[in-house]
Structure 1
């Protein structure tokens, strides 16, 4: 890749892109200082210098709150070092009945001392099934956070993207 300077048209295009991105932290102050140094007003997009290419900010995908996906736990299950204590199949449940039954199942398994359970959600059409989507939303809730330490999509032998390993916290914790 050669290092060439931007043409005036490219510099204007990058300036529009940079103006549409709201940086956070230290970079926000840098952008304000650059805007002031270039003499651009608050409504004018900052002009990128023509001699050096402007760096486009990479948009960060927001991380879903809640328990992290636990890759190490998934590996331990796949290698047989952590057994699946029980499984719960959401097929045949409505959204409402699954929302009631799933927490009860997880609480019961936690009380029994289980460390890992398999929850089968099904894939749905194009991987966007209602129960699968709602299951992931439920895992982000405060009620779920007190029960589980993490989760991971299951290995293909356990259902692949249509099932999840759910790692339960110790009942004593």
Structure 2
């Protein structure tokens, strides 16, 4: 289908005749000054992405036959939380990571949308903190992939990626001391331990 590039001379003539017959809505208002073009802002060139050597091998980049290729360069929540500074007792943190501490409160956010899950998480953790709980388990699930028929490449697990961000924002950042990915017995990559302040 060819794109329409502006009005033809006949269309312009017709439009000018119609415009002359129109009555202004605000006759007292003066004509607006002509629009001043905005200066172009130079954007910096895109940052160069360095891939691990394992991904640079041709066999690692090719998609299997009959399947779409997708590559997610964002760090997983587990990796991001592992790099976060330790703000609690080292011994307790090791026990928590190994699943030796049992959570005193838990919330399951499976099936909730982001708009429903965030207020539910905030009220749950504020209530758990006021009840004196130290360790809470937040279950997000691992998420489902968009599938081959999805219109856009969608990262699976919207809750799994957003919950750690919510825990580091107000009002929860005032009561959350440490966030760690849960041990396999408590949900693994689909759950988080949230250690609360006293």
**TM-score in terms of structure 1 length:** 0.54
Report the secondary structure of 2:171's partner residue. Answer: helix
Taking the TM superposition and a 5 Å limit, the aligned residue runs for 1:14-25 are none
C-alpha distance 74-120 of structure 1, shift in aligned 2 (>3 A): farther
Aligned to 1:97: 116
Greater C-alpha Rg: 2
8 Å contact kept, 1:85–1:116: yes
Secondary structure class of the residue paired with 1:87: strand
1:110 aligns with 2:129: yes
Paired position in structure 2 for 1:31? none
Following superposition, the deviation at residue 74 of structure 1 comes to 4.6
CA contact 1:74–1:154 (8 Å) conserved in 2: no
1:132 to 160, 163, 181: 160
Report matched runs for 1:1-173 at 5 Å.
Answer: 68=85, 72=90, 73-77=92-96, 78=98, 80=100, 82-125=101-144, 128-170=156-198
Deviation at 1:75, TM superposition (A): 2.6
Distance 1:68 1:106, change over 3 A: farther
What RMSD, in angstroms, separates the aligned Cα atoms of the two structures?
A: 2.9
Instruction: Give 5+ residue unaligned stretches, structure 2.
Output: 1-46, 49-74, 146-154
8 Å CA contact retained: 2:99, 2:186:
no
TM-score by length of 2: 0.47
* Higher helix content, 1 or 2: 1
Matched pairs, number? 108
Deviations 1:5-26 (A, max 9, x none): xxxxxxxxxxxxxxx99xxxxx
CA distance, structure 2, for counterparts of residue 93 and residue 68 of structure 1: 30
Seen in structure 2, the aligned counterparts of structure 1 residues 125 and 68 have a Cα distance that, compared at 3 Å, is farther
What SS does the aligned partner of 1:113 have? coil
Are the equivalent residues in 2 in contact too, given 1:149–1:169 (CA < 8 A)?
A: yes
Q: How has the CA–CA distance of structure 1 residues 92 and 116 changed in structure 2, closer, same or farther, with 3 Å as cutoff?
A: same
